Chains A and B, each alone.
Chain A
Amino acid sequence: MPLNLLTWLLSFLPLVVVMVLMLGFRASGKRASAAGWVTAVLVSLLAFGGTWKLLAYAQVKALWMSLDVLYIVWGALLLYNLVHEAGAIQAISTWLPSVSGDKAVQVLLVSWLMVSFLQGMGGFGVPMAVCAPILVGMGYSPVLAVVMTAIGHAWAVNFGSMATAFQALTAVTGLSGAVLAPKAAILLGLAILPSGMIVAVLGSGWKGLWHTFPLLCVVSLVMGTVQYFLAVNGLWNLAATTASLAGLLVMLLLLRISHSASSAQSTSRPDLLVLISPYLILMLVGFAVILIAPLNAFLSRTAFSLNLPELSTQLGWVTAAEQTRPLHPFSHPGSILVFTVLVSWLIYARKGYLSEGAGRRIAGNVVKSAGDASLGVIAMVGVAAVMTTSGMTNLLARGLSQSISTTLYPAMAPFIGVLGAFLTGSNNNSNVLFGVLQMETARLMGLDVPLILAAQTAGGSLGSVMSPAKVIVGCSTVGLNQKEGLVMRRLVLLDLIPVVIVAAAALIWSVLLGAGG
């Protein structure tokens, strides 16, 4: 397919439709995604030489990719509704003021540190789905709650979720993690402070940012340093999780030293530990499955995947035959959530926290929230699959890379990462889509390849949180079903701030390396 303005605009059309419907017309995520899917199919058939068979296989691929996400979504919603039914969300909301009476500190604890830590357990919007209701319990509007949690953990996506996105980048480019990790850790480290600052401003205004700024600087430095050292020493799987845990501990320590805690009244329930036990179990089981190799190997023995044949459009764009990513039903983050729910249910039932009819209420709420979210995810991932197999995604990225000079390309690289993540809802898929393209472009332009790839994955990490697929999941637990457009409107511009910072840093770094001249 030749690259010209018309073909580039056509390949951009499905995304424009989704964005205009969600941002301009406040359409629900599932509706905008369905419109994007229909547009992508029509553009593929009419302009990109797509055949019905190619589109059919694209939908099979999309379903498989969606299952990976939906398993987590349903598990997370089950866990959330269980803890909500038991009163844990309310208990956390009343306990937080006893940690610090400062609203800015409370909001940072939940929507910057806790949410980033949870990203290590499982991504796909789950941290937002878990933390946003806590903020609503603290008195924030549901829209603001989702926006704050989204921005707060954007920096942790790449090295979170067992660094699956980072590992995907190493797999598709063939470059070792040791080569890619240092620059990726530095670029993402630069996004930590701005993320926290945005959360502080949104949560308690400029005044809140002003008096928490020293705390923000210290905690950001700790998290950035821990993430860097773990990543460069081969422990990228745990880099974001450990960094956010270190940040959480340092913040609590600093609060204790500054006597903030003692000035606040203790309002926590004596049974708080039991109430929040599902989160502790989630961490314990999550780390056990990840770190205990024999257990992981045992649970990963059962795996399913599909074989897809080579696909080609009538215009000659070829997608090689492939085996889909295996789905491990027993070691998948979704299964960790389900196991946590089962154990937590037993604990709650034994303690008498679940009143009569709790099971029916929980099931009803899960179905209500997850139904809409799931349809949106399937349609949006379908858009990505149709665009990729038709060659539209490749054309889109080629157009972006060729329209910009060699000197400025490092600043464009994170935005290509953002584009891939926005489209697919995943940093991982963004790296799979654009990793090789970015590497080849960097080589042709004589730019530093690890830097460009670091910018790609940093952009994917920061951009994934504003993707419709993730926002739909984040909105599902705060009663914003069908109102995701409201969140997107506020989120997109704010989330671009750390992306711009990363882009500027990549540009300056590239100039300093002398590769752009």
Chain B
Amino acid sequence: MNKRQRHLPTLSLRASLLLLILELSLPFGLYAALSAEKIILAKLLFGLITAGMLVILILPENPKG
């Protein structure tokens, strides 16, 4: 973990699982929203999926799991 990352909360096992549930379920909602042409909702859901990816990328992993 570098100096900059020490200020950030770590990605614990529980947080990873929550992220997994979101990354697994949000695309289904996204598909439904796109099919129903609910554009605002679809944009929001895609934004959440992107946010999830950014969290995985930015937050340092918890070495204890």
Pairwise interchain contact B24-A60, C-beta atoms closer than 8 A: no
| A368-B13, A482-B61 known; A56+B20 contact, CB < 8 A | no
Complex Cα spacing A38 to B56, Å:
11
Residues from chain B with a CB closer than 8 A to the CB of A34 are: 53-54, 56-57
| Distance between A484 CB and nearest chain B CB, rounded to angstroms | 12
Residues from chain A with a CB closer than 8 A to the CB of B54 are: 34, 38
Pairwise interchain contact B24-A63, C-beta atoms closer than 8 A: yes
Query: In B7-59, which residues have CB < 8 Å from any A CB?
Result: 13, 16-17, 19-20, 23-24, 27-28, 30-31, 34, 42-43, 45-46, 49-50, 53-54, 56-57
Residues from chain B with a CB closer than 8 A to the CB of A41 are: 50
Residues from chain A with a CB closer than 8 A to the CB of B45 are: 56
Pairwise interchain contact A38-B53, C-beta atoms closer than 8 A: yes
Interface string of A229-270 (1 = CB under 8 A from B): 000000000000000000000000000000000000000000
**Which residue of A31, A52, A55 contacts B56 across the interface (Cβ within 8 Å)?**
A31
Residues from chain A with a CB closer than 8 A to the CB of B23 are: 63, 375, 378
Query: In A372-405, which residues have CB < 8 Å from any B CB?
Result: 372, 374-375, 378-379, 382
Q: Quick check: is A436 within 8 A (CB to CB) of the other chain?
A: no
| Distance between A368 CB and nearest chain B CB, rounded to angstroms | 6
Complex Cα spacing A378 to B49, Å:
11
Interface residue tally for chain A (C-beta within 8 Å): 30
Complex Cα spacing A57 to B28, Å:
10
Interface residue tally for chain B (C-beta within 8 Å): 24
Q: Quick check: is A158 within 8 A (CB to CB) of the other chain?
A: no
Q: Quick check: is A371 within 8 A (CB to CB) of the other chain?
A: yes
Residues from chain B with a CB closer than 8 A to the CB of A53 are: 34, 42
Q: Quick check: is A104 within 8 A (CB to CB) of the other chain?
A: no
Pairwise interchain contact B17-A371, C-beta atoms closer than 8 A: yes
Closest to A482 in B: B61
| A56-B30, A368-B65, A378-B23 known; A38+B16 contact, CB < 8 A | no
Complex Cα spacing A408 to B39, Å:
49
| Distance between B24 CB and nearest chain A CB, rounded to angstroms | 7
Pairwise interchain contact A59-B56, C-beta atoms closer than 8 A: no
Pairwise interchain contact B28-A59, C-beta atoms closer than 8 A: no
Complex Cα spacing A59 to B28, Å:
10
| A31-B61, A56-B34, A57-B34 known; A372+B16 contact, CB < 8 A | yes
Interface string of A459-495 (1 = CB under 8 A from B): 0000000000000000000000110000000000000
Pairwise interchain contact A59-B57, C-beta atoms closer than 8 A: no
Pairwise interchain contact B31-A60, C-beta atoms closer than 8 A: yes
Pairwise interchain contact B61-A59, C-beta atoms closer than 8 A: no
Residues from chain B with a CB closer than 8 A to the CB of A375 are: 16, 19-20, 23, 56
Given contacts A34-B53, A378-B24, A482-B61, 17 further A-B contacts (CB under 8 A): A31-B61, A34-B54, A35-B57, A38-B53, A41-B50, A56-B34, A56-B45, A60-B27, A60-B28, A60-B30, A63-B24, A368-B13, A371-B13, A371-B20, A374-B24, A375-B16, A481-B65
